[in-house]
Amino acid sequence: MRFFEKVDRMIEQTKKDGIVSAREDQQCDASTDLIAISVSEAGQWSVWAERAGLVTQLQGLFAAGHVRGVRGKSTLLYGFDGLPGQRLLVLGAGDPDTLSVRESGALARTLAEQALELGASRIACCLHGDPATLARHLQMAAYTPEGKTQNPAPTLLQAEFLCCDAPAAVAQGAAAGVGVNTTRRLADLPANRCTPRYLAEQAQALADSHPLIRCEVLDREAMAQLGMHSLLSVAQGSAEPPALIVLQYRAGAPDSAPTAIVGKGVTFDTGGISIKPSAAMDEMKYDMGGAAAGLGVVAALAARAQPLPINLVVVLPCVENMPSSTATRPGDVVTSLSGLTIEVLNTDAEGRLILCDALTYCARFQPAQVIDLATLTGACVGALGHHRSGVFGNDDDLVNALLAAGDASDDRAWRLPMDDDYDQELDSRFADIANIASVRWGGASHAACFLSRFCKDYRWAHLDIAGTAWQGGKNKGASGRPVPLLLHYLDQLAANHGAGDAS
């Protein structure tokens, strides 16, 4: 009990977020522990050096070979009277003109790593590179998973951009970082903390915090009344009650059709009666990564200084998939909200069973487009590994816009096929559709084809984030993907029209 109170207090803490700020002059906050600047391979210093009157001295050090501008390298210089700690961290920027979004992110991560290693948690910086990306990555360095009461990893507490000529971009990047961290925090929380009910409370709290956000939560009875028996068939084996979370962000014109985001929220996926092997099963706490990303997008919008002029509906089907005497059996036939009957041949293919009802539910908002996010298939990880998310869809423009948004935000995706050949392999003798294919290979496409049967009435794309939502190994943890991709997509949407027809 006491442990959880402590964790909850820490959650409050991370909600404050907003560690990034920007100012036009070269002066840093009194609490700063470290100033960081960058230098190109050719010896061009970021503007702070000139404004602080140090460029001659620094050029001397550069000419003598004490500092180099190679990307990925950093040098700590001492003996600067008047600077915090009398020192200056210099990061190599390579050729600043070719500093991509990806490399800007790497530069910010190097800075955060070096600063924390030096015991500096309050930094000021003036760097080459894309300001929004730098800000997003510095904000991300403010995150560490909760739960450790002893020796938690240090995090950045403050990051000031000095001599900043793009304060709006910095603010927007920082808001994106807040959204990414919201997603990581929720996804990293263990399944005994992060239940469907907990996600619903977090969504409600988000709505309470912002005038443009509204939240509604449908409970088991409400869903049964509507006829969401496919979703409920996944929840019925668990003592944790399901929740269908509906968040609305309305900053667009009242009559403009919303974009809908649907996120898979399986707070733990044991596989159900088709139970999974126990190796690495703990990672199935991440099976709500789609729902966490949906909440992260809304958290990022809430953190923006200016509203983004769009209408957004976020629908999050949240359940726990457990084996028990009340669980769905392989072979059971259920009727989905759409009326289509489904033969559940494998209870571990549960994501599509909750998503199909949420996708059908979405139609009532008459969305301009629907994007679902799901840690849906191991097969997608087999195809793309951990670098790119899989994208599917019934509309080329929408798919291409998402691919472009992924490239632009360094949160990449790759299109995978959805031909009829895959679709036919979902045929069932006992229902309108089976929840797994009759053949072994091509599982990511089968899952997408399953979903597409419920998305006939609108433009739809599906992001399979099974390989990208978290990373395993020593630095195990949620990545916050695909929040950057989605925010970039929504920014473009607003820039093009402020309505829903602009992808």
Binding residues for Zn ion, rule: CB under 5 A, are 266, 269, 287, 351
- The residue (of 105 and 351) whose beta carbon lies closer to ligand BES is 351
Contact of 332 with 316, CB cutoff 8 Å: no
Residue 466 interacts, among Mn ion, ligand BES, Zn ion, none and using kind-specific CB cut-offs from 5 to 8 Å, with: ligand BES
491 binds, among Zn ion, Mn ion, ligand BES, none (CB under 5 to 8 A by kind): none
Please identify which residue in the block is written with the tokens 């999050």: 316
410 scored as a contact of Mn ion (CB under 5 A): no
348 binds Mn ion, rule: CB under 5 A: yes
Give 43 or 472: the residue with its C-beta nearer to ligand BES: 472
| Contacting residues for 216 by C-beta, under 8 A, at least 6 apart | 245, 246
Q: Which tokens is 129 given? A: 């590179």
> Which listed residue (107, 315, 379, 493) binds ligand BES by CB under 6 A?
379
- Counting residues that bind ligand BES (by CB under 6 A) gives 16
Structure token pair of residue 33: 């522990």
Q: Which residue is nearest to Mn ion (CB)?
A: 348
- Among all residues, which ones are annotated catalytic? 276, 352
Residues 227-286 that bind ligand BES (CB under 6 A): 269
By CB under 6 A, name the one of 32, 183, 377, 394 that touches ligand BES. 377
320: contact with Mn ion by CB under 5 A:
no
As a whole number of angstroms, the distance between CA 471 and CA 313 comes to 28
* CB closer to Mn ion out of 146 and 269: 269
101 and 130 Cβ atoms separated by less than 8 Å: yes
CB of 189 to ligand BES, least distance (A): 17
Q: Examine residue 196 and tell whether it contacts ligand BES (CB under 6 A).
A: no
Binding residues for Mn ion, how many (CB under 5 A)? 3
User: Residue 15: which H helix or E strand, with range?
Assistant: helix 2-16
Q: What is the DSSP letter of 364?
A: G
Q: Which of positions 423-482 make contact with ligand BES (CB under 6 A)?
A: 436, 443, 466
Amino acid at 76: L
Pairing of strands 433-434, 243-250: unpaired
In terms of phi and psi (left: phi > 0; alpha: psi -120 to 50; beta: otherwise), the region of 153 is beta
Q: Does 375 bind ligand BES (CB under 6 A)?
A: yes
At which residue do the structure tokens 């301009």 appear?
368
Pick between residue 22 and residue 434 the one whose CB is nearest to Zn ion. 434
Distance (Å, whole) CA 250 – CA 254? 8
Specify whether the CB–CB gap between 129 and 104 falls below 8 A: yes
In sequence order, what are the residues at sequence separation of 6 or more whose Cβ sits closer than 8 angstroms to the Cβ of residue 325? none
Least distance between ligand BES and beta carbon 283 (Å): 7
List the interface residues with ligand BES, window 304-363 (CB under 6 A): 346, 348-351
Q: Is 88 in the site for ligand BES (CB under 6 A)?
A: no
Omega before 84 cis (within 30°)?
no
Determine the distance from the C-alpha atom of residue 378 to the mean position of all C-alpha atoms in its chain, rounded to a whole number: 19
Output the smallest distance, CB 465 to ligand BES, in A: 9
The entry of ligand BES, Mn ion, Zn ion, none near residue 443 (CB within 5 to 8 angstroms by kind) is ligand BES
Nearer to ligand BES, 121 or 377 (CB): 377
CB closer to ligand BES, 335 vs 346: 346
Three-class secondary structure of residue 474 per DSSP: coil
Residue 218's binding partner out of Zn ion, ligand BES, Mn ion, none, with CB under 5 to 8 Å set by partner kind: none
β strands within 162-258, DSSP E: 213-218, 243-250
> Which of 146, 348 has the CB closer to Mn ion?
348
If one asks whether residue 269 binds Mn ion (CB under 5 A), the answer comes out as: yes
- Per DSSP, the residues of 412-430 read -EEE----HHHHHTT--SS
SS (H, E, C) 123-178: EEEECCCCHHHHHHHHHHCCCCCCCCCCCCCCCCCEEEECCCCCHHHHHHHHHHHH
Strands 369-374 and 389-393: unpaired
Judged by the rule CB under 5 A, the positions of this chain that interact with Mn ion are 269, 348, 350
Q: What residues line the site for ligand BES (CB under 6 A)?
A: 269, 287, 346, 348-351, 375-379, 381, 436, 443, 466
